[in-house]
């Protein structure tokens, strides 16, 4: 399950008249921790915002899913409610969730959230839809692993370490039996025996 973090960013934005005006914008970032959310927002916005910017706040959001459509970048916050039965007690429980969808207006957001959730097995209602101040959403992409720094040079992949351990163990077992698979070790043994 994705964890969405709401990041507030403050920077000087150029308006239509060419004047710089301080603005505060909200971005939604998919990350596993506050630290990763901060690193990702700095990385994502570093190439798009000219000049300095500051991340003023990061908080966990209550969004469970995001449905982007390519034709518009206006986000709408949709409140979804449905009823589920508790497996143990059998009592019904009302569940409320929030989701984001891009749409031109509230009516289109309503239609798109129904389209996006058409595979839900329970009947749901959409009691509230509001336009969101979120400017952009950054979901986790597999390519984002390139953002992570490379591992230190002194670390090896686990597969290499295991292969090396197995090689050492087989060599050690060969030594105990007087069997030398490794020519270097056989040569070293001959040298040591000659020195005695």
**pLDDT by residue for the chain (196 residues), tens digit each?**
689 999 999 998 888 888 888 899 999 999 999 999 999 999 989 888 878 899 999 999 999 999 999 999 999 999 999 998 887 888 889 999 999 999 999 999 999 999 999 998 889 999 999 999 999 999 887 655 555 566 677 777 778 888 888 888 887 776 666 655 555 666 666 666 655 5
At 179 the pLDDT is 55
Positive/negative CA dihedral, 170, 175, 179, 185: positive
At 89 the pLDDT is 83
Distance CA(196)–CA(189), nearest Å, equals 11
99 contacts 28 by C-beta, under 8 angstroms: no
At 13, is the secondary structure helix, strand, or coil? strand
138 contacts 29 by C-beta, under 8 angstroms: yes
pTM above 0.95, yes or no: no
At 148 the pLDDT is 56
Q: List the alpha helices (DSSP H) in 27-69.
A: 34-46
Distance CA(96)–CA(58), nearest Å, equals 23
Place of tokens 């129904």: 114
């Amino acid at each position: 399950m994705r964890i969405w973090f709401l990041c507030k960013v403050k920077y000087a934005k150029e308006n239509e008249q060419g004047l710089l005006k301080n603005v505060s914008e909200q971005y939604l970032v998919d990350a596993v921790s506050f630290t990763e959310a901060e690193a990702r927002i700095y990385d994502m916005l570093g190439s798009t915002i000219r000049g300095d910017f500051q991340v003023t706040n990061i908080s966990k959001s209550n969004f469970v899913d995001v449905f982007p459509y390519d034709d518009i970048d206006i986000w709408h916050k949709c409140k979804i409610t449905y009823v589920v039965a508790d497996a143990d007690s059998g009592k019904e429980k009302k569940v409320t969730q929030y989701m984001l969808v891009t749409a031109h207006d509230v009516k289109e957001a309503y239609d798109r959230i129904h389209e996006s959730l058409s595979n839900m097995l329970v009947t749901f209602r959409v009691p509230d839809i509001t336009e969101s101040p979120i400017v952009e959403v950054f979901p986790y992409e597999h390519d984002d692993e390139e953002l992570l720094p490379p591992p230190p040079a002194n670390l090896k992949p686990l597969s290499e370490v295991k292969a090396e351990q197995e090689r050492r163990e087989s060599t050690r077992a060969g030594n105990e039996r007087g069997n030398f698979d490794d020519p270097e070790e056989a040569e070293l043994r001959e040298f040591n025996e000659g020195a005695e």
